[in-house]
Amino acid sequence: MRKRGGGGIRGIWAVWTGAAWLLGACAGQRAPPPSTEIDETAFRTHVSVLASDDFEGRRPGTAGEEKTVSYLIEQYRRLGLKPGNGESFVQPVPMVEILAGADASLSIAGPKGTVTPANGRDIVMWTKRAVPQVHLAQSELVFVGYGIVAPEYAWNDYADIDVHGKTVVVLVNDPGYAGKDPKLFKGGAMTSYGIWSYKVEEAARQGAGGVLLVHDAGAAGYGWNVVQNTWTGPQLELSTADGNAGRAAIEAWIDNDAARALFAAAGLDFTASAAAAARVGFKAVPMGLRLDATLHNSLRQFVSANVIAVLPGGSRRRETVMYVAHWDHLGTDPSRAGHRIFNGAVDNASGVAGLLTVAQSFARTQPPADRSIVFLALTGGEAGLLGSQYYVANPLFPLRQTAAVLDLDTLRIGGPTRDVSVFGFGNTDLEGTARSVALLQGRELSPDPIPELGLYFRSDSISFARASVPVLYAKGGLDDAARGPVWGRAQLDDYMAHRYRQPVDQYSTDWDVRGALDDLNLYYEVGNRVARSKRFPRWYPNSEYRVARIHAPP
Ligand SMILES: [Zn+2]
């Protein structure tokens, strides 16, 4: 049974504080040092400020960004942390905002006439190319199934087909998900090939001019409303010298019903085609349809910010333990009736508040750890993990000396849980550290409870994993201590369906934050242990993210 009202760590702390107080009392000296326990009041204050209407939904490149960045710097300073980028708390991240004009046009012609999915309703299209206009003319549609090239699974959906200049029609998730066949990919658990961003990158590598992602709420892990909230309006990208010329000209999501109509227009049965795509030996299918599309874009270049601070360590201060959380959210939608601000309280004001409260606990920790502790609030998480991609390409602390990254993404708001879920389970031995700390809290470690959603690949964790920096992304699981796992699952489903990326994701003083505080105490302790160890956490030998990590001497 779980001890409530204080886990093991809290218990140890109480004993230690008591002893210190006694010593102080005997010697007639100072009061005990402030607790390193996660501070609930501070946590609530940070969430309520960051998720307030005043912060306008924290969209990069807006006044909401300026307020967020100022707030973070003020908090870092208040805690006595040092700037993480020379004299500055900011790592500038050059971005471009691409807004497609209302005159976007699209039509798809076939032997039986023209099909025209309505942009914004049946199809949501954009471009990541930073140019005033993109245009596709008579681009042939090819159904490439899951659009995957994965040598380790002996799978190539682009074998024997040349898609240069063509528009590929792609399913999301992967063949293991579709067939629930444990021998295909990782069975029902999504692999890194399942995520939409992989699909568009692979299509671009293959030279495709356009990509239509077929939406399916189950396979994607979010509904059509999330597609509409995320991919309409101005789109953000990292600003690159070539203006992302390597990307396909047109990227789009197509609603499931509209996709079925498209297959019907091609004389294909959607259900049968999708089933064939999940079988070994699938071959891409030219659909006999041609697409014309034009987008006129207005472009705005601006510089966003990763906000970074460091608490210098002792004997091995060049080595770091890094806490990360994306600070941004979706901003404000003026075209919306009613409440227009995407406050992003859970996503991810909770994670940023967590990062600040963990920082406070470290600032109160005596003596400081041997390794330095870095706090990195990332920009552009919602727009495709842009801040973390930029950071790993331009690290301010050498990645090889970064012993561990602990990712705080959308904390679990609710009561205590019996389990701690690890997203991307089975990859690094940071799990061993997390397991022993969880046990002290009376909790067990569990794998990602909903691996088909691929949340690991949708978090900043994946940017660090791809750079082979051991990363932990864990939080309270579904097994609610009071109400059990069925209730826990229902809560999560309710969040994903009704609050995720919607304006109702707001803070309330009725939030039960006990579960989040347990998770933050666990994160603090895991980081503290790694920061006091000489050892570098490792990827497990069978992890796809493992490459030889060579560490310079301290
Ligand atoms: Zn997010």
Q: Based on C-alpha coordinates, what's the Rg of the chain? A: 24
The per-residue pLDDT for 106 is 94
Using alpha carbons, list the distances in angstroms from residue 269 to 51, 262, 263, 276, 531.
Answer: 46, 10, 6, 11, 56
Answer positive or negative: Cα dihedral of 426, 427, 429, 432: negative
Ligand 1 center to 378 CA (angstroms)? 11
Ligand 1 center to 135 CA (angstroms)? 31
493: CB partners within 8 A, 6+ apart: none
Ligand 1 center to 253 CA (angstroms)? 19
Each of the 554 residues of the chain gets a pLDDT tens digit; together they read: 344 434 445 444 444 444 444 444 444 567 777 899 999 999 999 999 999 999 999 999 999 999 999 999 999 999 999 999 999 999 999 999 999 998 899 999 998 888 889 999 999 999 999 999 999 999 999 999 999 999 889 999 999 899 999 999 999 999 998 877 888 998 888 888 999 999 999 999 999 999 999 999 988 888 998 899 888 888 999 999 999 999 999 999 999 999 999 999 999 999 999 999 999 999 999 999 999 999 999 999 999 999 999 999 999 999 999 999 999 999 998 888 899 999 999 999 999 999 999 999 999 999 999 999 999 999 999 999 999 999 999 999 999 999 999 999 999 999 999 999 999 999 999 999 999 999 999 999 999 988 888 889 999 999 999 999 999 999 999 999 999 999 999 999 999 888 988 999 999 999 999 999 999 999 999 999 999 999 999 999 988 888 755 444 33
Q: How far apart are CA 64 and CA 300, in angstroms?
A: 17
For ligand 1, a single-atom ion, the residues with CB < 5 A are: 347-348
Ligand 1 center to 118 CA (angstroms)? 28
Q: How far from chain centre, in Å, is Cα 483?
A: 28
At 68, the amino acid letter reads T
From the number of C-beta atoms within 10 Å of its C-beta (0-12, 13-18, 19+), residue 381 rates as buried
At 291, the amino acid letter reads L
Using alpha carbons, list the distances in angstroms from residue 470 to 202, 262, 389, 489.
Answer: 25, 43, 15, 28
Ligand 1 center to 469 CA (angstroms)? 21
Helix-strand-coil split of the chain, %, nearest 5: 35, 25, 40
The per-residue pLDDT for 294 is 96
The closest alpha carbon to 298, from 96, 98, 60, belongs to: 98
Three-state DSSP class for residue 64:
helix
From the number of C-beta atoms within 10 Å of its C-beta (0-12, 13-18, 19+), residue 311 rates as buried
The model's pTM is 0.87
The per-residue pLDDT for 18 is 43
Ligand 1 center to 350 CA (angstroms)? 10
Using alpha carbons, list the distances in angstroms from residue 72 to 45, 254, 327.
Answer: 13, 38, 9
The per-residue pLDDT for 497 is 86
The per-residue pLDDT for 28 is 52
Examine residue 343 and say whether the peptide bond preceding it is cis (omega within 30 degrees of 0). no
Ligand 1 center to 107 CA (angstroms)? 33
The per-residue pLDDT for 548 is 55
The per-residue pLDDT for 46 is 98
For the domain spanning 98-299, the CATH number is: 3.50.30.30
| Number of C-beta neighbours around residue 160 at 10 A | 7
| Number of C-beta neighbours around residue 162 at 10 A | 11
Ligand 1 center to 463 CA (angstroms)? 14
Q: What ranges do the domains of the chain cover? A: 1-33, 98-299
The per-residue pLDDT for 172 is 94
Ligand 1 center to 329 CA (angstroms)? 7
Ligand 1 center to 520 CA (angstroms)? 18
Ligand 1 center to 109 CA (angstroms)? 38
Ligand 1 center to 458 CA (angstroms)? 8
